[in-house]
Every structure is written in structure tokens, then in C-alpha cells.
């Protein structure tokens, strides 16, 4: 398994072609789950260093005890670990299904298991990203800024690997693989943008004085 992890970093085209053919979805699942747990551990450690509750929330007039309980739950190690694990696996699976469906529309070949395996190993850069983020979190505000920049760079790297994983495991052209990956992402971003606009307009109308 480790040879495919290093292969995804050093020789992704050959690695994703082989993982797609061998349908290594179980290994991909194991890798995604392990990285999600590691990411959850880092988040839990960072949460322990944060203040338990912002002062403004402590004075909230509506159910302050309940607000504090919700805040503590969302920052508890168990919740962070569970949400990271479930969220990582769910995102990997649903993303794979969406990419596979679009790949088939573009006349792609291959199997869903092969694609899921390749997408799992496409997450290999997180072996560098997660420890780096943990170290940068110790540097305060400058570390937070550097961590954000690094996270953006790693996201681009993983996105490129996702395109290569789709291309090699489904035997698609580069343009079709790019479309198969970017279309679902664009639809998700559009959905959240519309939700944000609706919530903003609702807040504006609620705050406007009655005529």
C-alpha cells in the first residue's frame, strides 16, 4: 500500500492506472479513513488550546446554558474525530460516484471500485499537509496565515491528482476528466452560493422596518 502512496506523489499517472485496474477501493477506503482520523486528531488538539466559549456568547439572553453545551459538543475530541471520519469517507464516496457517473456520460471505461481506489490514493499529499498544519498552528496568527496558504496549495495539488485519477481509471481524455471533476464541484459551490444569498436576503428583509 505504501508504494501506491509514494507513487501517487512521484508517479501519479502510472500509479492511478494500476490502482484503477486492480480496483483497490478497500485500500483507498483505509487510506481515506486513516487520514480523516489524523486530521480529526489535529483539530481536536487545536480545539483544546482554544477558549471554551467567547465572552459574547456567555451573555446571550436566550438559553445560554444550551449554547455553551452545543459549543462544547462541537469542540469535543469525540465529535471532531467522528465528524472528520464520517465526513471524509462520505465525501470520498459521493465524489467518486459523481465523477464515475459523469465519466460514463463521457464514454469512460473502468469500474467504480477502481475509481474509488485511485481517488483514495489521490489524497496522499495530506500526509504532508496535516503534519505541516499541526506545526504551523503552534506559531499563532502568522502560522494560521501560512497554514491557510498551504491548505490552498494542497487543495490544488489534490484536485490535479483527482483529475489524473479519473482520467487514468476511466480511460478518459484530459478534457473529459477535468469536466467530470469540476462540474460536481461547481454545482456544489453554486448551491452554497444560492443558500448564502437566500439567507442574506432573508436577514435583510427581517431587519428592515415594517412599512
Res 166: pLDDT: 97
Is residue 147 within 8 A of residue 62, CB to CB? The reply is no
Q: Which residues of the chain, if any, have pLDDT below 50?
A: 51-53, 57-63, 211
pTM of the full structure: 0.82
Domain residue ranges in the chain: 2-207
What's the grid cell of residue 51?
A: 477558549
Distance between CA 68 and CA 62 in Å, rounded? 11
pLDDT value at position 133?
A: 86
How far is Cα 191 from Cα 48, in angstroms, rounded to an integer?
33
**Tens digits of residue pLDDT in 53-110:** 455 544 444 445 555 566 566 667 777 788 889 999 999 999 999 999 999 999 999 9
Give 174's contacts (C-beta < 8 A, 6+ positions apart): 163, 167
| pLDDT value for 72 | 61
Cβ contact 125:154 at 8 Å: yes
Q: 156 with 182: CB under 8 angstroms?
A: no
Residue appearing with cell numbers 476511466:
170
The Cα 162–Cα 148 span in angstroms is: 21
Amino acid at each position: 500500500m505504501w508504494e501506491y502512496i509514494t507513487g501517487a506523489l512521484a508517479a501519479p499517472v502510472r500509479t492511478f492506472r494500476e490502482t484503477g485496474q486492480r480496483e483497490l477501493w478497500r485500500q483507498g477506503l483505509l487510506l481515506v479513513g486513516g487520514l480523516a482520523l489524523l486530521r480529526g486528531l489535529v483539530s481536536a488538539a487545536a480545539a483544546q488550546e482554544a477558549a471554551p466559549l467567547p465572552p459574547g456568547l456567555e451573555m446571550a439572553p436566550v438559553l445560554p446554558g444550551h449554547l455553551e453545551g452545543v459549543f462544547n459538543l462541537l469542540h469535543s475530541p469525540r465529535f471532531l474525530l467522528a465528524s472528520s471520519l464520517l465526513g471524509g469517507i462520505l465525501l470520498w464516496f459521493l465524489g467518486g460516484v459523481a465523477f464515475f457517473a459523469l465519466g460514463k456520460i463521457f464514454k469512460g471505461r473502468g469500474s467504480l471500485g477502481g475509481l474509488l481506489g485511485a481517488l483514495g490514493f489521490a489524497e496522499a499529499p495530506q500526509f504532508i499537509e496535516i503534519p505541516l498544519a499541526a506545526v504551523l498552528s503552534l506559531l499563532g496568527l502568522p502560522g494560521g496565515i501560512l497554514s491557510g496558504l498551504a491548505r490552498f496549495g494542497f487543495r490544488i495539488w489534490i484536485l490535479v491528482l483527482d483529475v489524473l485519477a479519473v482520467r487514468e481509471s476511466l480511460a478518459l481524455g484530459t478534457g473529459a476528466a477535468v469536466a467530470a471533476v469540476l462540474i460536481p464541484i461547481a454545482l456544489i459551490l453554486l448551491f452554497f452560493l444560492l443558500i448564502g444569498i437566500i439567507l442574506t436576503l432573508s436577514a435583510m428583509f427581517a431587519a428592515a422596518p415594517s412599512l
